Structure 1
Amino acid sequence: MPEKPLAGLKILVTRPRDQAVLLAQRIEQAGGIPLRFPLLEIAPVQDAGTLHEQVSRLAQFNLAVFVSPNAVKYGIAAIRAEGDIPCPPQNIVIEPSDRGRADGRQLPQSAGFAGNVSLPPALRIATVGQGSAKVLHQLGIANVIAPTERFDSEGLLALPEMQNIAGWRVIIFRGDGGREFLGDALKARGAAVEYAVCYQRSKPQWDARALLEAAPDAITVTSSEALVYLWQMLGDAQGDRLCGIPLFVPHKRIAELARQQGWLRVQLTDAGDDGLLSALVAWGSEDRGLRTDS
């Protein structure tokens, strides 16, 4: 394998800005040229009154589920901002921030702010992916229920810890407009479920011509919502100009949607930055070999 397997290759990175940093750096280390083109913007909810009311009752729940790294980031921020949850504290060290809220209370923008956060000691913590689990571990939460093979709601629901939950009260931290599948499945098993909407997504205004002029050699997309927006932005005519470019996605659900849209070279990768980079490197090495042979 060449030392710089992505040398000269332009890779479109479509994650939200904050989440794209590490992947872009690793692409550069492999010799590639990361083109940052965030398809979603993430921000705290504007009116967090309901969220903070739910957080104030955190001790009443048996299980808290964080569905994504953003759910961890903004959910933990809300928990820290509440600050007076009536339960013995389990301390987590995070970084400081002074993000303001529409109702005048302080809602930290990032889950890496200095200080302690109180969690009920009996509260079980779960998440659907290894990226979210890693963030929770970094925040000092040792016992996280998370799948080790299939990194989605279905994978979490298959775990032994999630079977006998009749009578449990479950709070699911998520963004606005998230999937209902996990909550519906938990309700079917007898749990009482509340959704805690802790962040909101919006679509940045991009001109499709900027993407076409960038002429990426490969594209990475890590959510179905981002893929839908990408195609909407391009339109069928311009989408047809890009559909032959390798598209790297980390989940079967995204891959199926991509094929339905008409993408011809969909590459299903393992989860996380490691999975994306490994697939990109393998493709880059193969592509370089083909170019050399020709």
Structure 2
Amino acid sequence: MLLLNTRPIERAQALTQILEHDQIDVIELPLLELKAMPYSAELAALYQQLLHAQVIVVVSPTAVDVGMRYLQASQIELSALNQVQWIAVGQATARSLQRYGITATVPDIENSEGMLQLPVLQHLHLQHVAFWRGRGGRQFMMDALQQRGVNILNFVLYQRQCPAQTMTQFQQLSPRLLTMTQPIFVCISSEASWLNWVKLCQNTPEILSKCQYLTLGQRLTQLLLQQQIPAVQQLESLDPESIRNFLLKQKGTA
């Protein structure tokens, strides 16, 4: 059994360590890297509107780090946002916010669908929601709120791209993946990471079809199934312990 740990490099280590402890073969192959966008006049104007926000949705630890840095650049005190309810997409993001003294609401299922089910976003009088996000991320969630008449403050704080090193690493790894007879699991945590994986496999479609995919949430699972990917297992959380338990169960039945 092999797991390709595709989480961004700063978030991959906890999963790798817990799996290696159980003698599960792991290769870190990050499909996304996150790079801060420059602080701009557009962002500065958005930060001034942040004072009217009722909810701030924060989608990653990187969004916390860049968002807080640019909040300071905008000369806005965190105390000026006392009226805001914070939503973190997952526990790692919530821990990052906690370092600033912020207690955030976290959905049971750590994705857009899970966040949309939170009571705070079901409020009839919800008018202004800010998103601290990366380019291309959370469009489904923002569209769903806009259809309900909610005004979206769209903070694009970083861009997501496939690391150049991953492309080189994949080329070196491909012969091994092509000849492996043991199961190969690939963690897919977002549509962006899936699209990068498909691009990596464009010259070796055999790898794309032979792998088994661990997908976060129902929407991502359906996306892969619609593309005729045969082996898809839905995750409800990216918690390393839950992924470990799933893989140990698979290992036991192999």
TM-score under structure 2 normalisation? Answer: 0.83
Alignment of 1:269-284 (within 5 A): 269-272=235-238, 273-284=240-251
Of 78, 91, 101, the residue aligned with 1:140 is 101
Query: In the alignment, does 2:37 pair up with 1:45?
Result: yes
Alignment of 1:1-294 (within 5 A): 9-82=1-74, 84-85=75-76, 89-90=78-79, 120-142=81-103, 144-148=104-108, 150-166=109-125, 168-205=127-164, 206-207=167-168, 208-215=170-177, 217-235=184-202, 238-272=204-238, 273-287=240-254
Note the C-alpha offset of 1:233: 1.9
Task: Give the Cα separation in 2 of the matches to 1:184 and 1:242.
Answer: 30
Structure with greater proportional helix content: 2
Task: Give the Cα separation in 1 of the matches to 2:242 and 2:253.
Answer: 17
Which consecutive residues of structure 2, in runs of 5 or more, have no partner in the other structure? none
SS in 1 for 2:210: coil
Note the C-alpha offset of 1:162: 1.9
Task: Give the Cα separation in 1 of the matches to 2:227 and 2:141.
Answer: 26
Which amino acid in the other structure matches residue 194 of structure 1?
A: L
Which consecutive residues of structure 1, in runs of 5 or more, have no partner in the other structure? 1-8, 91-118, 288-294
Note the C-alpha offset of 1:224: 1.6
Task: Give the Cα separation in 2 of the matches to 1:242 and 1:187.
Answer: 35
Root-mean-square deviation (CA), in Å?
2.5
Which amino acid in the other structure matches residue 135 of structure 2?
A: D
CA contact (8 A) 2:53 2:84 kept: yes
Which structure would you say has the larger Rg? 1
Note the C-alpha offset of 1:145: 2.8
Note the C-alpha offset of 1:11: 1.9
Task: Give the Cα separation in 2 of the matches to 1:166 and 1:187.
Answer: 13
Task: Give the Cα separation in 2 of the matches to 1:239 and 1:246.
Answer: 14
Which amino acid in the other structure matches residue 43 of structure 2?
A: L
Task: Give the Cα separation in 2 of the matches to 1:160 and 1:174.
Answer: 21
Task: Give the Cα separation in 2 of the matches to 1:163 and 1:172.
Answer: 16
Which amino acid in the other structure matches residue 137 of structure 2?
A: G
Task: Give the Cα separation in 2 of the matches to 1:21 and 1:129.
Answer: 17
Task: Give the Cα separation in 2 of the matches to 1:48 and 1:35.
Answer: 38
Note the C-alpha offset of 1:173: 0.9
CA contact (8 A) 1:48 1:198 kept: no
Count of residue pairs brought into register by the alignment: 245
Note the C-alpha offset of 1:197: 0.6
